[in-house]
Structure 1
Amino acid sequence: MTDLDLYPKTKAVPAGTLRAGHVVVESHGYPAVVVRVAYGAQTTRWVTVYCRYIWQGSQELAWILGGSKLLNSTPVDRAV
């Protein structure tokens, strides 16, 4: 097994720009892979980001970043 980088360099990006495969840092030392992004209807400004921690297996359930929908403009720390 390779060593996991728990503290990647990050850049704040709007939640609406996240895509599957991006790595986000939920909190200090907790990087997670975006597995799915659900967008609201065209008239809404919401996005739901589903993630798994980098140490979780693909069979484990994804969880929602921030615990609920996020505004498209909400800043999220993404690994660069």
Structure 2
Amino acid sequence: MKPEYANTFGIRKVSDKEGEVLEVTLDIAYKYMETAMTVTPKGMENISTPAADYVASIVMNRQSAISLRNLLIQTLGTEP
């Protein structure tokens, strides 16, 4: 099933040997519980297992990542 929205975000970064961030990747996924029926000695049981569908990855240079951060702050404001 192709997800229509995302509920999980992750960030990866690539730095040079001095620690300066060169690139940031925003990984976007949809996590959910997958269910299946199985036969056991106790009868039919519903088994749930975690699953995830990849939505997208956005690769940004340092300036693009800073611009995204500033846009989010401008849109959402700061935390109280």
Q: Under TM normalisation by the shorter chain, which class is it?
A: 0.3 to 0.5
- Greater RCO, CA 8 A, separation 6+: 1
TM-score (norm: length of structure 2)? 0.36
Q: Which has the larger share of helix?
A: 2
Q: Which has the larger share of strand?
A: 2
Rg larger for: 2
